[in-house]
Structure 1
Amino acid sequence: MCRTVVPSLLSACALTVVVGGCAGTDEASSASTAGGTTAADASAPESGAGELTARLVDPEGGEVGVATLTEVEGGTQVEVRVTGLSPGFHGFHVHAVGRCEPDSPSPTDPAMTGDFLSAGGHLGAGEADHGEHAGDLPLLFVTEAGTGALTVVTDTLTLDQVTDEDGSAVMVHADRDNYANVPERYAPGGPDQMTRNTGDAGGRIACGPVEG
C-alpha cells in the first residue's frame, strides 16, 4: 500500500505527496504524473510569485535532481525531483548555509569534515527542537529505479529566510529521519544529542544551494 507520509511532528507542513513505487493506487494516479493535479495545486502560486531553485549534486559533482521553492497562499511550496539515488526513505531538509562542498568543514566546528558539511545545520536549528526546525521537511521516498519526487507546503519557511546573508541549501541524507522521536521504552533518558540535532538521518548524499 502506498501511504502519504506526513510525520506527526511536522505540524506546519500542510501537504506531502510521495511519488514512486505505487502504480495502480489512487494516490499514485493523482500524484505521479508530471502534469497531474494534486491538493498542493490548490495553493498554486499566483502569476509573478517568487520562485527559487536548488540544483542537487552528489559528492562527485553529478547532478541528481532539482528542487524549487515557491511562494504560495499557504506558505512556501517545496517541490523536489531526484534520480540516481539509493532506494528507500531519506531525510530531506533545508540547511542554513548556501554552500555545498564535498569533504568540507562544518562552519560551527571546523575540526569536523565531511561531504556538504559546509551547509551547516538545519535552518532554524537554534530556535526549536528537531522536528520543528524551519528547515525540517517530510521524508523523501526513492523507488527501486532510483527516482523520487515530493511536494510539500510549509508555513514555517519563507523565501526571505532561505535568501539571508549566507543563503541556504536543500539537502538529501543517506538515511531516513526519525525527527528525534525515540520512545522512552527504547531510551529512558530520551534521545541523545545527535538524535535531537539531526534525527539520525546519516550522511549527506545530495546538496544544492538555493538560488534565484
Structure 2
Amino acid sequence: MRHLPTTSAPRPHRTVVRATVALASVGVLALSACGSDDDGESSDSFATADVHAADGNSVGSASFRDADGASALTVDLTGLQPGMYGMHVHGIGTCDPGSHAPDDPSETGDFLSSGGHMGADGHDHPGHGGDLPALLVNGDGTAHMTVTTDRVTRDNLLDDDGSALIIHEKPDNYGNIPDRYAPDGPDKDTLKTGDAGGRQACGTFTD
C-alpha cells in the first residue's frame, strides 16, 4: 500500500513539464516568424526598377531600401541564361535598346543610353560607386541576390538624371588581370568596365 502513491504521483508532474517545454518552443517559433515578417524587402523600398531585356520582355525587378546607414539592393530575376554576369548601377536612368553612348555618339548598342558606371569619375573599376558583386543565374534561369553597399545613397540614385541597373552579357573580372597576361597592367577598357561585355537587361530606378 505504501508503494502506490510513489509510483503514480510523478507521472502528472512529468506531463506538465513536457507541456510547458512544448509551449515555450511554440512561443519561440512564433517570435521568429514575427521577426522574419519585419524584414520585408519591398515595404520600405526607396527606389524600384522593372528590369527588361532588349526585346522589351520583363525579366524581373530590383529595389533599394535603407539598411542601417547603407543601402540594400535586392534583385529578383527570371528568364536569363544560366551563368555569372557583371551587374552595376549606371549613372543615367534611361534604358533604350539600340541607343547611343552619351560620351561617344558613334558607339551604339543596347542600353548604352544609361551611360557608364555610377560614381566612376576619378576612380578605376571596381572602385566606382555603382560597382556590385557578380550576379549568379541558376540553372532554371532565375537569380535572387541581396547586397548591402554604402556607395549608393537615395540622393545619388535618384538625382536629376536618375540611374539604372544593368545586367551585362559576360562575367566581371573587377580589373583582376594577372601580370602573366598583362605585364603592363589592365588596359583602359578593363579599368572602365571590368570586361563585362554588352548589356542584356536594364531597369530604371524610380521612387
| TM-score, normalization by structure 1 | 0.77
Partners of 1:182 and 1:74 lie apart in 2 by 33
Task: Give the match's secondary structure for 1:129.
Answer: coil
Cα distance, 1:196 vs structure 2: 0.6
RMSD over aligned Cα, in angstroms?
2.3
- Of structures 1 and 2, the larger Rg is shown by 2
Q: Which amino acid aligns with 1:136?
A: D
Partner of 1:128: 123
Q: Which amino acid aligns with 1:185?
A: R
Residue-by-residue CA offset, 1:142-199 (whole Å, 9 max, x unaligned): 0111111110000111011011110000110011100111111210011111111000
Give identity over the alignment, percent. 48
Partner of 2:5: none
Partner of 1:19: none
Q: Which amino acid aligns with 1:191?
A: P
Partners of 1:195 and 1:167 lie apart in 2 by 25
Partner of 2:23: none
1:94 to 89, 94, 109: 89
Q: Which amino acid aligns with 1:200?
A: D
Runs of 4+ in structure 1 displaced over 3 angstroms? 43-46
Residue-by-residue CA offset, 1:19-74 (whole Å, 9 max, x unaligned): xxxxxxxxxxxxxxxxx99xxx8x9589x855210110000100001000111104
Partner of 2:54: 59
2:142 to 141, 147, 150: 147
Structure 2: give runs of 5+ residues left out of the alignment.
Answer: 1-31
Q: Which amino acid aligns with 1:73?
A: D
Task: Give the match's secondary structure for 2:190.
Answer: helix
1:114 to 68, 90, 109: 109
> Is the 1:130–1:199 contact (alpha carbons within 8 Å) kept by the matching residues of 2?
yes
Q: Which amino acid aligns with 1:152?
A: V
Partner of 2:65: 70
> Is the 1:44–1:73 contact (alpha carbons within 8 Å) kept by the matching residues of 2?
no
Partners of 1:92 and 1:158 lie apart in 2 by 17
Partners of 2:205 and 2:117 lie apart in 1 by 14
Partners of 2:168 and 2:98 lie apart in 1 by 15
1:173 to 168, 173, 177: 168
> Is the 2:45–2:63 contact (alpha carbons within 8 Å) kept by the matching residues of 1?
no
Partners of 1:127 and 1:187 lie apart in 2 by 23
Cα distance, 1:127 vs structure 2: 3.1
Q: How many residues align?
A: 173
Task: Give the match's secondary structure for 1:110.
Answer: strand
Q: Which amino acid aligns with 2:206?
A: E
Partners of 2:79 and 2:141 lie apart in 1 by 5
Q: Which amino acid aligns with 1:202?
A: G
Larger proportion of helix: 2
